[in-house]
Amino acid sequence: MGFSSLQSCPSCGVAIGDLSAHVRSTECPHCANWLYLSNNGWTSGGLFEHALDAPSMLRLGRSGVFMDRRFTVAGRLRVTYSSGFWDEWWLEFDDGVHHWLEEDDGRYRLHKKIEMDATDASFANAKVGSTLQINNQRWFVTEKINSEVAGTEGSLPVAAMPGEQVLCIDVIGGGKKLSIEATGRDVSVSQSLVVSGADLLWD
């Protein structure tokens, strides 16, 4: 509540310019420490080896048009799991409705955030093939992956901390397919849309 403004870096103390209201983690432009929003306000996650070397047409700061809407690549989250990794790119659109774009081995999915209070659901106990209760509705669990934040850059709408565990769960119910990502602090629920890389028209 009201923590979204960051006046100065908790690590080097240098004043930081205005951040968009949705930003909950960002790299300090002066000392490069990764800063995230915790219960104690803005916290330094320390310097973080990025290891974000895989070639991609997406790049921080690059802009273009997707479905007649202009966007800029504002941040990136690299997630690793037992079988590899994927990237989640944070795209800020000029109309203010921003989206994650998931890039997994050349495949893209655009995530549309769903407002749903999923904080009470017991994700840790969720099992593939069983159901999960969210908002008095039953959802069938189709996939569950334990992953870890392995790299970050730019600014992100989640308080992502390097090395932290992320539980990724896909569920279906009532004709909808949802993706849930849960960390110690945040639960985000989204609906995803498969897109082609050719749909991103770069400047």
Query: Which residues contact Zn ion (rule: CB under 5 A)?
Result: 9, 11-12, 28, 30-31
Cβ-based nearer residue to Zn ion, 9 or 77: 9
Q: Tell me how far, at minimum, the Cβ of 30 lies from Zn ion, in Å.
A: 5
Taking the CB of residue 78, how many other CB atoms lie within 10 A of it? 20
Cβ-based nearer residue to Zn ion, 42 or 139: 42
DSSP letter string over 82-128? TTEEEEEEEEEETTS--EEEEEETTEEEEEEEE----TTS-GGG--T
Cβ-based nearer residue to Zn ion, 11 or 179: 11
**Pairwise CA distance, residues 61 & 115, whole Å:** 27
Q: Tell me how far, at minimum, the Cβ of 19 lies from Zn ion, in Å.
A: 13
Q: Tell me how far, at minimum, the Cβ of 24 lies from Zn ion, in Å.
A: 17
Cβ-based nearer residue to Zn ion, 1 or 15: 15
Residue type, 171: V
Q: Tell me how far, at minimum, the Cβ of 3 lies from Zn ion, in Å.
A: 18
Taking the CB of residue 116, how many other CB atoms lie within 10 A of it? 16
